Amino acid sequence: MNTSSANIILANGSLRAVVRPDLGGSLESLIYYGLAGDVPVLRVPPAVIHTVRDMGSFPLVPFSNRVAKAQLQWQGTDHPLIKMGTTEEHAMHGVVWQRSWEVLEASADFVMLSHEHKADSAWPFAFDVSQVFKLDGCALNMTLSITNQAPNPAPVGLGWHPYFAKRAGAHIRFDATSRWEMNADKLPTVLQAASGLASPCADLEIDNCFEGWTGVAELRDECIRTRIASNLPRLVVYTKPSIDCIAIEPVSHANNAINLAGANAEQLERLGVRVLASGETFSAQMSINVENA
């Protein structure tokens, strides 16, 4: 293990990962050492990194994607959240990706991070979250665990937002049962039947959440084959022809799920929102397995 105030480097014979506790507990990069040489699995960060949005991947806690108009509606109360920025009117991707994390334990191929969130204007419910990165052969295994520290039941969601490198010949494939169509505000409207996706990536333009994901997605190109696996039942996919990456995001709930469900407990469950009692924990796993093409 190689550490500095800014990063932790994990390595084994096949993979090298750079973890950034200081920038949202994010994954700066993941490199595979294979027949094609040193191949970036995730997008390559810029020479000068300014924000977490320059990273290769970051955790989504305690919600994924968007909360509409940065207004959380929960148990009859409206909670104004913080908007993403001057050009984005929604709250996005949770809160922990914009906070620093503490290193609890680390070795040459393993690191455990934690973050303690106190109720604030970004999210009105206190929680603790831990995150593990572990290299195992040709795989990077990750775990997220959140514990509700609020005195009352609170809604939570988990996920990851990795940006995979999109090279020549890139092709994505996965199975699902349906997908949410989106409006001009990038919010879900109608759930339509969809068998998943099997498509070249070069001209693909997509920004949708898929339901009934089977838990495995494959991205292959002329250099490597990458298998993304998770115990989470939904997958958000985002790319367009003008960018050199594709986001393949395992998530626990549909976009804007808490507000879509309103006060309907059955809808909350159907849309994937976990309601944790005080002291209750919810965990998720994800792995990125890489091999030669």
pLDDT in tens, 109-131: 999 999 999 999 999 999 999 99
pLDDT at residue number 226 = 98
Per the confidence metrics, is the pTM higher than 0.85? yes
Contact 175, 243 (CB under 8 A): no
Q: Spell out the domains of the chain, with CATH numbers in brackets.
A: 2-292 (2.70.98.10)
pLDDT at residue number 263 = 78
Residues of the chain with confidence (pLDDT) below 50:
3-5
Residue 269 DSSP SS3: helix
pLDDT at residue number 4 = 45
pLDDT at residue number 278 = 98
pLDDT at residue number 26 = 97
pLDDT at residue number 1 = 52
pLDDT at residue number 50 = 82
Give how far the C-alpha of residue 14 lies from the chain's centroid of Cα atoms, to the nearest Å: 23
- H helix intervals, 184-280: 257-261, 265-270
Distance CA 138, CA 121 (A): 41
Residues, the chain: 293
